[in-house]
Structure 1
Amino acid sequence: MEAPSRYASVLRPGLFAGQLHWVTGGGSGIGRCVAHELASLGATVVLSGRTAEKLERVAAEIAEDGGRAITRAFDIRDEEAVKANIANIAEVVAGHGAIHGLVNNAGGQFPAPLMAISKRGFEAVVANNLTGGFLMMREVFLQSMQQHGGAIVNMTADFRNGMPGMGHSGAARAGMSNLTMTAAFEWAHAGVRVNAVAPGWIASSGMDHYGGMTRTIIPKLKQHVPLRRMGVEAEVSAAICFLLSPGAAFITGVTLAIDGGAPLGSPLFPALDHDKSQPFEGFHRAVLPEVLKGSA
């Protein structure tokens, strides 16, 4: 069956018309998907990341689909670059009145047991997944949302039972969840809502970055999910866009798990095998990661 030519969002057309939404890490994976959905719903999207070519490729896709995207290449771990790039978007903000939404999606990590993680490696992962997100939140608040209100959605991960093999990432993601609650309380007076999403095992391009034993395990992960499948990028994007929307106007300070129930249950009561769960395939440009091709 031929794929649809536009993003098939579950949200109403034009929901974000006339608004400006910023997506960090927008050049690939979940960030790319979120950017496409926001643009399909009428938003002008600012795509940021470290690699200009990747951002420009996604911006061209969005333009081809009839949307609008602007790119800014910089490292969210660089405080001065964050300040400058958010200030630099002023000419765009002038046309929209504000930065209406921020999706703090950028991040990254590497698999390793705690005993093998160096101080440098630990700090790098914390900077990627926590410090950089904090800098983006703070500057968007100071330069726009403090005056105009808005909504922020932070990216965490499924850390409910710890993250063995990725303890540095688990620590950073748990920190982001706690930071989300603090910001939701401190910034409520300005009309700013702050929430987070915690994806579990999502079939995204990021899976292809892993090698070794981790790569051999990835196709088997669905057997540890009660829904007996992995999630898809569009399912994470749908949750993020809902949290940015007026439908979530009384939701703030929460971390929403998008994990198919993977942390639930017990080895004493194993989940039953089935094929009843069907994913929401809303992203017309989604591509199955190489590591999952050919898996049953």
Structure 2
Amino acid sequence: MSIYRSIFKKDLFKGQVILVTGGGTGIGRCIAHELAALGTTVVIAARKIEPLKTVQDEIQKLGGNCDTMLLNIRDAAMATQVIQDIVAKHGMLNGLVNNAGGQFMSPANQLTSKGFSTVVDLNLNGTFNMCKAAFDGYMGEHGGQIVTIVAETRNGIPRAMHTGAARAGIINMTKTLAIEWGPYNGIRINCVAPGLIISSGMKNYHETMVDLLAHSHWMNPTSRYGTESEVSAAVAFLLSPAASYINGVNLEVDGGSSLSKGNPEGDELMYNPEGSRHPVYVGWSEGVDNVHGIKHVDAPAKINELLRKYKAIGRSSKI
């Protein structure tokens, strides 16, 4: 296992304690490695202990400090208890990274009220639970930094309207909390909105969705996907003194994909023959015969190929 090479100085967060929710997999795992490499005592928390222990072992083998705790962010009482346990054990809580969350893919017309509520409860309510617990348990009196991982929502999120609504709510909540909590010893709270990131988290999606994602890099002005380490670097920046005058922002780490005017899922959503009176426009570059077709690929193989190209741990100057 190679050493995590952060672009920041080694002792940037020396002596600090930072909690990363959902720190056992994907982007959360990479954030934990980044912060530990910078001298943080990083506490990773999630619902399942096994992935947390694996990451803890990785970090400790590299000489970092890592603690683990069980946490369900939807449980406000549990969130409060975790913060209290961290302060009791480590004496402080300098930072909170709200990374835990989740969603499933579904067109809005097939989404149930229960499915919508579940995703909003997990992402929006869960994030509030953690922010409030951190404020009440330590930061309201001592200050601190909060960074929440959301999603790039500028032009909506087709087939994930429920998570788009939740993440947009988090972004607005962040702005309000920045205003209300800033006077409390300089609390800063910001968001990071990743675009399409090559991550182990892609394994949670159906192969059809993976296929769509794997062929949508053309929507990005940089013509490539992002890496977990590029997200973790943005998180470290917002937690650091370099961002001491940045509060209430949503930092999009998306290679400029949020500026695109096209549809990342192609003409399948742009034209629905069953519900439209308009004929297919044969001038489309894809051609009339390709308007409805989705060519599937071997999803696991495609994910592994992408993960090999964009390594979760480590950084290369040539992506």
Shared fold (TM-score greater than 0.5)? yes
Match 1:29 to one of 17, 26, 30: 26
1:290, distance to aligned residue in structure 2 (A): 5.0
**Aligned equivalents of 1:252, 1:290: Cα separation in 2:** 41
- Structure 1's 75 and 14: CA in aligned 2 closer, same or farther, altered over 3 A? same
2:18 alignment partner AA: H
Tell me the residue number matched to 1:103.
97
**Aligned equivalents of 1:248, 1:151: Cα separation in 2:** 10
State which structure, 1 or 2, has the greater radius of gyration over its C-alpha atoms. Answer: 2
1:83, distance to aligned residue in structure 2 (A): 1.3
1:120, distance to aligned residue in structure 2 (A): 1.1
- Structure 1's 89 and 263: CA in aligned 2 closer, same or farther, altered over 3 A? closer
1:294, distance to aligned residue in structure 2 (A): 4.1
Q: CA offsets per residue over residues 109-147 of structure 1, 9 Å max, x none?
A: 000011111111111111121111110001101110111
Contact residue 208 and residue 290 of structure 1 kept, 8 A:
no
**Aligned equivalents of 1:221, 1:14: Cα separation in 2:** 38
Task: Indicate whether 1:84 and 2:95 are aligned.
Answer: no
SS of the residue corresponding to residue 110 of structure 1 reads coil
Tell me the residue number matched to 2:136.
142
1:292, distance to aligned residue in structure 2 (A): 3.1
Tell me the residue number matched to 2:303.
292
Task: Indicate whether 1:216 and 2:221 are aligned.
Answer: no
1:47, distance to aligned residue in structure 2 (A): 0.3
1:265, distance to aligned residue in structure 2 (A): 4.0
**Aligned equivalents of 2:137, 2:90: Cα separation in 1:** 10
1:266, distance to aligned residue in structure 2 (A): 3.9
Match 1:72 to one of 69, 73, 89: 69
1:1-296 equivalences under 5 Å are 5-94=2-91, 98-190=92-184, 191-266=186-261, 291-294=302-305
Contact residue 219 and residue 260 of structure 2 kept, 8 A:
no
Contact residue 192 and residue 250 of structure 2 kept, 8 A:
yes
Contact residue 44 and residue 67 of structure 1 kept, 8 A:
yes
Percent of paired sites with the same residue: 46
**Aligned equivalents of 2:118, 2:96: Cα separation in 1:** 22
1:89, distance to aligned residue in structure 2 (A): 1.8
**Aligned equivalents of 1:42, 1:135: Cα separation in 2:** 27
**Aligned equivalents of 1:222, 1:206: Cα separation in 2:** 17
**Aligned equivalents of 1:32, 1:212: Cα separation in 2:** 23
How many equivalent pairs are there?
269
1:169 alignment partner AA: T
**Aligned equivalents of 1:74, 1:265: Cα separation in 2:** 37
> Which is worse superposed, 195-204 or 207-216?
207-216
**Aligned equivalents of 1:68, 1:290: Cα separation in 2:** 34
What's the TM-score, normalizing by structure 2?
0.82
1:185 alignment partner AA: I
1:91, distance to aligned residue in structure 2 (A): 2.8
**Aligned equivalents of 1:291, 1:20: Cα separation in 2:** 37
SS of the residue corresponding to residue 196 of structure 1 reads strand
**Aligned equivalents of 2:100, 2:179: Cα separation in 1:** 23
**Aligned equivalents of 2:103, 2:73: Cα separation in 1:** 15
Q: CA offsets per residue over residues 244-284 of structure 1, 9 Å max, x none?
A: 000000000000001111122445xxxxxxxxxxxxxxxxx
Contiguous gaps of at least 5 residues in structure 2: 263-299, 310-319
Contact residue 69 and residue 82 of structure 2 kept, 8 A:
yes
Q: CA offsets per residue over residues 3-23 of structure 1, 9 Å max, x none?
A: 7x3111111110000000000
- Structure 1's 86 and 290: CA in aligned 2 closer, same or farther, altered over 3 A? farther
Contact residue 86 and residue 93 of structure 2 kept, 8 A:
no
1:114 alignment partner AA: A
SS of the residue corresponding to residue 179 of structure 1 reads helix
